[in-house]
């Protein structure tokens, strides 16, 4: 069993391995974590449901800390163009990219958005993911952004995976605002933010800091107000071009800085000094054909816990594959398998500012994954495959082999 709650030391120590471990659950909480031999007498009664991992390992439910799973439409033709040599930016400049998904999402009803997102969440759940961060950012009008939040709220009601929502008002500039940037920024800041804050169900506010998206100044303006309204912050930075975005994330006191393919040494130091969690999205580096892959090794060597995500979205990462993300993190970002596993557990929990998740501890949420594989090493190694046998989410068992 891996608790991911080891106190200090290298990644392997942080995994907190317990041989012949037992985790006891009552209701939605964990009530025992330890060796089988330490289980108190009488802990197992006639009503106890026993689950034997049968030589596989057990760990915390995984967390996907950066996704865009609520969207309508698809962009398979853009994938084809990239295969023919067009870049993600060239496609966006020619009228494709985020704004295309915005059009499709604006045309969808809340019920349609929910129907479309459900199978994506189911695919994540099937791989042991029990908590997912979900962004807006494909609405980009006050009403459409609020409808995306309604869809996330409805998804919370109809399926078990816990959802952490992020408002992403600065994702792309809608075409109709090309000559009125300041108006769009003011609309998001003055009308959308207060209405989203008043709902009480949105944790984070986010921005895409990029030449083709929003500037430092625009981001400071909107996210500064978001912070004052009580949102925690996270940022898409240094993805397609180097833009000192990591430094901006540090300056704004963001919880996480995501992507980071183009981060420099000063950016790494800034994240470390400010305690910002780096979130890498290796499937989107691959899928969007961005190079280089983010410097996971240097981030980890600087003493940062590196979180990983699928970044599931129709444009830059049409994938819900956790094993592939872990495998690429090892092969291309330079992480070890232990670091990659912590990237979807302990460090992913830090990236959503919810440190009680992503680890097994008494009093913590009863969210677990039971693997057929004997070791976490199989997850990146069995590339793109799924070795999850069962999931416990909110204390309820789903046995995929039953």
Task: Point out which residues bind ligand NIG (CB under 6 A).
Answer: 68, 97-98, 101, 208, 236, 239, 284, 311, 313-316
Residue 303 token pair: 């003493």
Q: How far is the CB of 379 from ligand NIG (least distance, A)?
A: 23
Number of helices (H) and strands (E) in the chain: give both, helices first.
17, 14
Q: Which residues contact 179 (CB under 8 A, 6 or more apart)?
A: none
Residue closer to ligand NIG, measured from CB, 68 or 82: 68
Tokens 């470390």, residue?
272
- The torsion angles phi and psi of 41, rounded to 5 degrees, stand at -60, 140
Whether the CA torsion 335, 291, 316, 75 is positive or negative: it is negative
Q: 140 or 185, CB closer to ligand NIG? A: 140
**Shortest Cβ 213–ligand NIG spacing (Å):** 7
Nearer CB in complex with ligand NIG: 16/245: 245
Sign of the torsion angle spanned by Cα atoms 380, 238, 307, 68: negative
Helix (H) or strand (E) holding 379: helix 378-381
19-22: long-range pairs with CB below 8 Å, 24+: 21/58
- Of 232 and 234, which has the nearer Cβ to ligand NIG? 234
271/11 Cα distance (integer angstroms): 19
CA 342, 288, 163: angle at the middle one, nearest 5? 45
> Given the complex with ligand NIG, which of 136 and 336 has the nearer CB atom?
136
Q: What is the closest distance, in whole angstroms, from the C-beta atom of residue 215 to ligand NIG in the complex?
A: 15
Q: Which is nearer to ligand NIG, 316 or 336 (CB)?
A: 316
Q: How far is the CB of 237 from ligand NIG (least distance, A)?
A: 9
Comparing CB distances to ligand NIG, the nearer of 75 and 346 is: 75
Q: How far apart are CA 191 and CA 188, in angstroms?
A: 6
- Report CA dihedral (197, 358, 291, 71) to the nearest 10 degrees: -40
Angle at 188 between CA 186 and CA 192, to 5 degrees: 130
Q: How far is the CB of 294 from ligand NIG (least distance, A)?
A: 12
Residues 6 or more apart in contact with residue 41 via CB below 8 angstroms: none
The minimum distance between CB 274 and ligand NIG, in angstroms, equals 21
Residue count of the chain: 402
Q: How far is the CB of 315 from ligand NIG (least distance, A)?
A: 2
What CA–CA distance (Å, rounded) separates 180 from 218? Answer: 13
**Shortest CB 226 distance to ligand NIG, Å:** 18
> Closest by alpha carbon to 17, among 70, 69, 59, 74?
59
Give the nearest residue (CB) to ligand NIG: 315
SS3 45: coil
Taking the complex as a whole, how short is the minimal distance between the CB of residue 82 and ligand NIG, in angstroms?
A: 11
Whole-number minimum distance, CB 205 to ligand NIG, in Å? 15
Q: Which is nearer to ligand NIG, 235 or 373 (CB)?
A: 235
Cβ–Cβ under 8 Å, residues 108 and 72 = yes
**Cβ nearer to ligand NIG, comparing 77 with 190:** 77
**End-to-end CA separation in angstroms for the chain:** 22
Choose between 53 and 280: whose C-beta lies nearer to ligand NIG. 280
């Amino acid at each position: 069993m891996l608790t991911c709650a080891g106190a200090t030391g290298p990644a392997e120590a942080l995994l907190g391995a317990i041989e012949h471990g037992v985790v006891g659950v009552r209701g939605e909480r964990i009530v025992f974590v330890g060796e089988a031999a330490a289980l108190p007498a009488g802990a197992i009664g006639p009503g106890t449901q026993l689950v034997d991992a049968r030589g596989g390992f057990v760990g915390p439910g995984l967390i996907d800390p950066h996704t865009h799973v609520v969207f309508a439409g698809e962009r398979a033709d853009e994938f084809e163009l990239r295969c023919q040599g067009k870049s993600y930016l060239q496609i966006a400049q020619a009228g494709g990219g985020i704004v295309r998904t915005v059009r499709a999402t604006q045309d969808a009803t809340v019920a349609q958005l929910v129907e479309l997102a459900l199978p994506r969440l189911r695919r994540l759940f099937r791989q042991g993911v029990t908590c997912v961060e979900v962004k807006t950012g494909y609405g980009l009008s006050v009403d459409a952004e609020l409808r995306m939040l309604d869809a996330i709220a409805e998804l919370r009601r109809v399926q078990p995976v816990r959802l952490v929502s992020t408002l992403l008002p600065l994702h792309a500039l809608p075409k109709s605002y090309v000559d009125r940037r300041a108006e769009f920024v003011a609309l998001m800041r003055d009308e959308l933010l207060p209405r989203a804050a008043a709902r009480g169900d949105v944790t984070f506010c986010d921005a895409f800091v990029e030449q083709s998206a929003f500037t430092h100044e625009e981001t400071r303006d909107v996210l500064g107000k978001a912070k004052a309204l009580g949102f925690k912050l996270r940022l898409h930075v240094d993805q397609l071009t180097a833009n000192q975005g990591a430094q901006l994330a540090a300056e704004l006191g963001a919880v996480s800085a995501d992507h980071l393919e183009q981060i420099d040494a000063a950016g790494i130091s800034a994240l470390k000094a400010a305690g910002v969690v780096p979130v890498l999205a290796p499937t989107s580096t691959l899928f969007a054909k961005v190079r280089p892959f983010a410097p996971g090794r240097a981030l980890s060597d600087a003493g940062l816990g590196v979180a990983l995500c699928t970044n599931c979205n129709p444009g830059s990462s049409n994938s819900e594959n956790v094993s592939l993300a872990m495998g690429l993190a090892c092969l291309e970002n330079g992480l070890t398998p232990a670091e990659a596993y912590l990237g979807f557990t302990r460090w992913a929990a830090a990236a959503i500012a919810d440190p009680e998740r992503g680890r097994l501890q008494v009093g913590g949420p009863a969210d677990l994954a039971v693997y057929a594989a004997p070791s976490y090493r199989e997850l990146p190694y069995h590339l793109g495959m799924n070795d999850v046998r069962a999931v416990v989410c909110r204390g309820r068992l789903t046995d995929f082999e039953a």
